[in-house]
C-alpha cells in the first residue's frame, strides 16, 4: 500500500525518509513542492496529489508534512488515518513530535516505522503493542544502548499481538483501579453583534484514561445518543451493539486512548455557554479602526468558565493595536497580525472586556470584512452539547468528565 514516507519541515527540506517496498526517488516530492507553492496557507496543500506514476497523500502536524507515496489506488482516508497514527505514536514516545525530537531519536523512529508497516501494510499501530515491541527511549536506556550496542527492540512477541484484542496487553495489574473520561467539544458558531447565536454546530471527542486490572469489559451509555452524528469509534468498540442499542460496549486499551469522535449538527439546539458582544469597525478614509469586545457566561449551570483565551486574525492592513483589557493581558504580533488576549477565569460580577483602537497602514483601504474571533475556554463537569455518559454499576465507576470548547464568531 504505502511505498515510501517522507517527512518535510516548514522550510521545505526532507529531513527523513523511509522506504518499504522499493526506493522511490526524492524527486517525486517536487509535485508536492509545486502544490505547496500554489497554496496560500500551509494547511491548504491538497491532501491528495496525483502524479504520473504515484499518488502523494499528506497530513500537516506540528509544522511537519508527513507525505506518503502510493503507487496504486487506495482509500485516501485510510492512509491519512495511518499518518495521524504515526504522529500520535511519535508524540506518545517522545513527548513532542518536532523535527528536533525525531532527529534525536532517529533509530527509534525507524524501528517504529518498521513495526507499524509490514511490506507497506499497517501491522501494529496500537501504543500498548508497540511499547512491548520497542521500549520508549530514556536517558538511561540510551546510555546502555550506546555502550553495549543493543537496541530498544524487545526480545519477545507482545502478549496481545496474537489475541482477539490486540490493543490490550495481558497481565495488566494496578493497585488502584480507575478510569477517566474527558468530553472535549469544539463549537463552530456565527454570533451577531448583540451576542445572539445565528447558527452553531459541534465537533466532539471522548478521550479516556483507563487503568484497570485484568481484561475489563466496560459498558457506557448516553443519556441522549440521538444527538450524535458521524460517530467514529476506537477499534475496541463493538459496533453491532452500538447500532442496535446505542450502547458502548468495549474492552479498553491500557492507558490513554480516544474512545470516539462525533458531530452535533446545527439542526439540534446548541446552547453556547458564553456570549460575545463585539463591535469591530473600520471607517472609510480613516487610518483608525475601533475594537470593542466583551465576554460573559451564559447557561453554564453555575459552572465556572476558565482558561479563556481569545484570538483574532486582524486584517493585513492593521499596523498596530492600542487596546485596554479590563482583565488579563493581550499581545499583538505586527508580522502575523494575530491578536491574542489571555483572559483567564471569567468573573460574572465583572465581565472582561477589551477596548481600544487599531491603526491602519498609510494608504491602506478599509478591510472588506470583519475578522473572526476565536475563543477557547474550559468548563469542568459540563459538555456543551448536553452529552452525558452513564456507567453500568457492575462495570465501572465514572470519575471525571470535563469539557473544553472552542467558539468562532463573526
Whether residue 225 lies inside any domain: the answer is: yes
Please count the structural domains in the chain: 3
Q: Give mean pLDDT, residues 126-142.
A: 76
Q: Give mean pLDDT, residues 8-27.
A: 93
Looking at the structure, tell me whether residues 11 and 101 fall in a common domain.
Answer: yes
pLDDT at res. 368:
74
- Residue 19 corresponds to which cell in the numbers above? 522506504
Return the higher-pLDDT residue of 74 and 165.
74
Looking at the structure, tell me whether residues 280 and 240 fall in a common domain.
Answer: no
Whether residue 155 lies inside any domain: the answer is: no
Among 175, 254, 189, smallest CA distance to 215 is for 254
Return the higher-pLDDT residue of 151 and 205.
205
Whether residue 349 lies inside any domain: the answer is: yes
Q: How far apart are CA 178 and CA 213, in angstroms?
A: 9
Owning domain of residue 282: 274-380
Whether residue 167 lies inside any domain: the answer is: no
Check pLDDT > 90 for residue 404: no
Looking at the structure, tell me whether residues 190 and 109 fall in a common domain.
Answer: no
Cβ proximity of 181 and 206 under 8 Å: yes
Helices (H), 139-205: 139-148
Q: How many CB atoms neighbour CB 180 within 10 A? A: 15
Burial 187-198 (b: 16+ CB within 10 A, else e): bebebeeebebe
Q: How far apart are CA 32 and CA 13, in angstroms?
A: 12
Whether residue 168 lies inside any domain: the answer is: no
pLDDT for 217-271, tens place per residue? Answer: 999 988 888 888 889 999 999 999 999 999 999 999 888 889 999 998 866 667 7
pLDDT at res. 130:
85
Q: How far apart are CA 263 and CA 185, in angstroms?
A: 9
Q: Give mean pLDDT, residues 347-361.
A: 89
Q: How confident is the model at residue 185 (pLDDT cuts 50, 70, 90)?
A: confident
Looking at the structure, tell me whether residues 265 and 405 fall in a common domain.
Answer: yes
> What secondary structure letter does DSSP report for 285?
T
Burial 11-46 (b: 16+ CB within 10 A, else e): eeeeebbeebeeebeeebbebbeeebeeeeeeeebe
Looking at the structure, tell me whether residues 392 and 260 fall in a common domain.
Answer: yes
User: How many percent of the chain have pLDDT more than 90?
Assistant: 42
pLDDT at res. 146:
63
Whether residue 54 lies inside any domain: the answer is: yes
Looking at the structure, tell me whether residues 128 and 36 fall in a common domain.
Answer: yes
Rg, Å, the chain Cα set: 25
**CATH number of the domain residue 318 falls in:** 2.60.40.1170
Looking at the structure, tell me whether residues 249 and 391 fall in a common domain.
Answer: yes
Q: How far apart are CA 308 and CA 324, in angstroms?
A: 17
Which residues partner with 211 through β-bridges? 178
Whether residue 159 lies inside any domain: the answer is: no
Mean pLDDT comparison of 56-60, 197-201, 257-261, highest-scoring range: 56-60
**CATH number of the domain residue 97 falls in:** 3.30.450.60
Q: If 0-12 CB within 10 Å is exposed, 13-18 middle and 19+ buried, where does residue 231 land? A: middle
Q: How far apart are CA 95 and CA 107, in angstroms?
A: 16
Q: How far apart are CA 129 and CA 236, in angstroms?
A: 14
Cβ proximity of 249 and 348 under 8 Å: no
Check pLDDT > 90 for residue 162: no
> What secondary structure letter does DSSP report for 207?
E
Check pLDDT > 70 for residue 163: no
Looking at the structure, tell me whether residues 235 and 112 fall in a common domain.
Answer: no
Range of weakest confidence among 94-108, 264-278, 333-347: 264-278
Backbone angles phi, psi at 352, to 5 degrees: -75, 140
- Concatenating the DSSP letter of every residue in 96-133 gives S--HHHHHHTHHHHHHHHHHHEETTEE----HHHHHHH
Q: How confident is the model at residue 148 (pLDDT cuts 50, 70, 90)?
A: low
Whether residue 344 lies inside any domain: the answer is: yes
pLDDT at res. 157:
57
pLDDT at res. 365:
75
Mean pLDDT comparison of 3-7, 212-216, 290-294, highest-scoring range: 3-7
Q: Which of 148, 169, 203 is at the close of a domain? A: 148
Looking at the structure, tell me whether residues 20 and 88 fall in a common domain.
Answer: yes
Looking at the structure, tell me whether residues 191 and 65 fall in a common domain.
Answer: no
Check pLDDT > 60 for residue 397: no
Q: How far apart are CA 348 and CA 351, in angstroms?
A: 6
Q: Which of 127, 148, 169 is at the close of a domain? A: 148
Looking at the structure, tell me whether residues 142 and 37 fall in a common domain.
Answer: yes
Q: How confident is the model at residue 91 (pLDDT cuts 50, 70, 90)?
A: very high
What mean pLDDT is reported for the chain? 84
Looking at the structure, tell me whether residues 183 and 199 fall in a common domain.
Answer: yes
Amino acid at each position: 500500500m504505502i511505498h515510501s514516507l517522507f517527512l518535510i519541515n516548514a522550510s521545505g527540506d526532507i529531513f527523513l525518509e523511509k522506504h518499504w517496498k522499493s526506493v522511490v526517488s526524492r524527486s517525486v516530492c517536487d509535485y508536492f513542492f509545486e502544490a505547496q507553492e500554489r497554496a496560500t496557507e500551509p494547511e491548504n496543500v491538497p491532501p491528495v496529489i496525483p502524479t504520473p506514476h504515484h499518488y502523494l497523500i499528506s497530513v500537516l502536524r506540528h509544522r511537519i508534512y508527513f507525505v506518503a507515496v502510493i503507487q496504486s489506488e487506495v482509500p485516501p482516508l485510510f492512509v491519512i488515518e495511518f499518518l495521524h497514527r504515526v504522529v500520535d505514536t511519535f508524540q506518545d514516545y517522545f513527548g513532542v513530535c518536532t523535527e528536533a525530537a525525531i532527529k534525536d531519536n532517529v533509530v527509534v523512529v525507524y524501528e517504529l516505522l518498521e513495526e507499524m508497516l509490514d511490506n507497506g501494510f499497517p501491522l501494529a499501530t496500537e501504543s500498548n503493542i508497540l511499547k512491548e515491541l520497542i521500549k520508549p527511549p530514556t536517558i538511561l536506556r540510551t546510555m546502555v544502548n550506546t555502550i553495549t550496542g543493543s537496541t530498544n527492540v524487545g526480545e519477545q512477541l507482545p502478549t496481545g499481538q496474537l489475541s482477539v484484542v490486540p490493543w490490550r496487553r495481558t497481565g495488566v495489574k494496578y493497585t488502584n483501579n480507575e478510569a477517566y473520561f474527558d468530553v472535549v467539544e469544539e463549537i463552530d458558531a456565527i454570533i451577531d453583534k448583540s451576542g445572539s447565536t445565528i447558527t452553531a454546530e459541534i465537533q466532539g471527542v471522548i478521550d479516556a484514561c483507563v487503568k484497570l486490572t485484568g481484561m475489563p469489559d466496560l459498558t457506557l451509555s448516553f443519556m441522549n445518543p440521538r444527538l450524535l452524528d458521524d460517530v467514529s469509534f476506537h477499534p475496541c468498540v463493538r459496533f453491532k451493539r452500538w447500532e442496535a442499542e446505542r450502547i458502548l460496549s468495549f474492552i479498553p486499551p491500557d492507558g490513554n486512548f480516544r474512545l470516539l469522535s462525533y458531530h452535533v449538527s446545527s439542526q439540534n439546539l446548541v446552547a453556547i455557554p458564553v456570549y460575545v458582544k463585539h463591535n469591530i469597525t473600520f471607517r472609510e478614509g480613516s487610518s483608525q479602526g475601533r475594537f470593542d469586545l466583551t465576554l460573559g457566561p451564559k447557561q453554564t449551570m453555575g459552572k465556572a468558565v476558565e482558561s479563556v483565551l481569545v484570538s483574532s486574525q486582524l486584517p493585513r492592513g492593521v499596523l498596530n493595536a492600542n487596546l485596554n483589557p479590563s482583565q488579563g493581558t493581550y499581545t499583538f504580533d505586527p508580522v502575523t497580525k494575530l491578536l491574542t488576549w489571555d483572559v483567564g477565569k471569567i468573573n460574572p460580577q465583572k465581565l472582561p472586556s477589551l477596548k481600544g483602537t487599531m491603526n491602519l497602514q498609510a494608504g491602506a483601504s478599509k478591510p472588506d470584512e470583519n475578522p473572526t474571533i476565536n475563543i477557547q475556554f474550559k468548563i469542568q463537569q459540563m459538555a456543551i452539547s448536553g452529552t452525558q455518559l452513564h456507567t453500568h454499576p457492575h462495570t465501572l465507576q465514572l470519575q471525571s468528565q470535563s469539557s473544553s470548547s472552542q467558539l468562532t464568531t463573526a
